């Protein structure tokens, strides 16, 4: 469980009583998908015929473009079931994708997508590679959400296996 209580209002949209704009919500979803997509080949090597995670990322992007509803995008988070069919790094990669698509529903899932992607790289290539993955992710943070995400990483690092240190 990567959530902490109380929920951070910066990750709750304005229409639900928080401070997150729709534009920044979409940027979080894009960044989470970028993190997950970066490790998707780890999953695809282990399960080349399982298209669920790939489809989930397509749904994430369709939601960002306004082509599908949040509920439709959230259905693709069921790609998490793909993790049951693999182990190790591939399992973490599948979880990263599921977390990324779930950002449409709960923006704070962005951290789960990034953390699971780092864990996938760590499991495949070791701790140093995990640190490099974290740096790679941070380099791709849009300026508009950079401070928010980096602060969130500091606040919830303990709940994410300390992958952001």
- pTM equals 0.96
pLDDT for position 4 = 75
pLDDT for position 157 = 96
For 67-104, give one letter per residue: b (16+ CB within 10 A) or e: ebeeeebbebbebbebbeebeebbbbbbbbbbbbbbbb
3-state secondary structure of 87: coil
Nearest to 155 by CA among 12, 8, 28, 35: 8
pLDDT for position 122 = 98
pLDDT for position 24 = 98
State how far the Cα of 78 lies from the Cα of 66, in Å rounded to an integer.
Answer: 20
pLDDT for position 1 = 54
pLDDT per residue as tens, the chain (165 positions)? 577 788 899 999 999 999 999 999 999 999 999 999 999 999 999 999 999 999 999 999 999 999 999 999 988 887 889 999 999 999 999 999 999 999 999 999 999 999 999 999 999 999 999 999 999 999 999 999 999 999 999 999 999 999 999
Which value, to the nearest 10 degrees, does the dihedral of the CA atoms of residues 80, 97, 4, 11 take? -130
pLDDT for position 76 = 86
pLDDT for position 77 = 80
pLDDT for position 57 = 96
3-state secondary structure of 13: strand
């Amino acid at each position: 469980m990567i959530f902490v209580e109380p929920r951070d209002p910066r990750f709750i949209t304005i229409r639900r009583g928080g401070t997150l704009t729709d534009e920044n919500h979409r940027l979080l979803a894009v960044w989470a998908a970028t993190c997950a997509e970066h490790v998707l080949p780890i999953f695809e090597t282990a399960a080349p015929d399982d298209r669920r995670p790939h489809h989930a990322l397509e749904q994430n992007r369709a939601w960002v473009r306004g082509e599908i509803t949040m509920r439709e995008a959230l259905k693709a988070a069921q790609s998490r079931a793909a993790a049951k069919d693999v182990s190790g790094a591939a399992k973490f990669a599948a979880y990263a994708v599921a977390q990324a698509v779930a950002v449409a529903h709960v923006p704070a899932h962005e951290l789960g997508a990034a953390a699971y992607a780092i864990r996938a790289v760590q499991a495949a290539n070791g701790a140093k590679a995990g640190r490099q993955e974290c740096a790679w992710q941070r380099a791709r943070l849009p300026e508009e959400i950079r401070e928010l995400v980096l602060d969130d990483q500091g606040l919830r690092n303990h709940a994410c296996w300390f992958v952001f240190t």
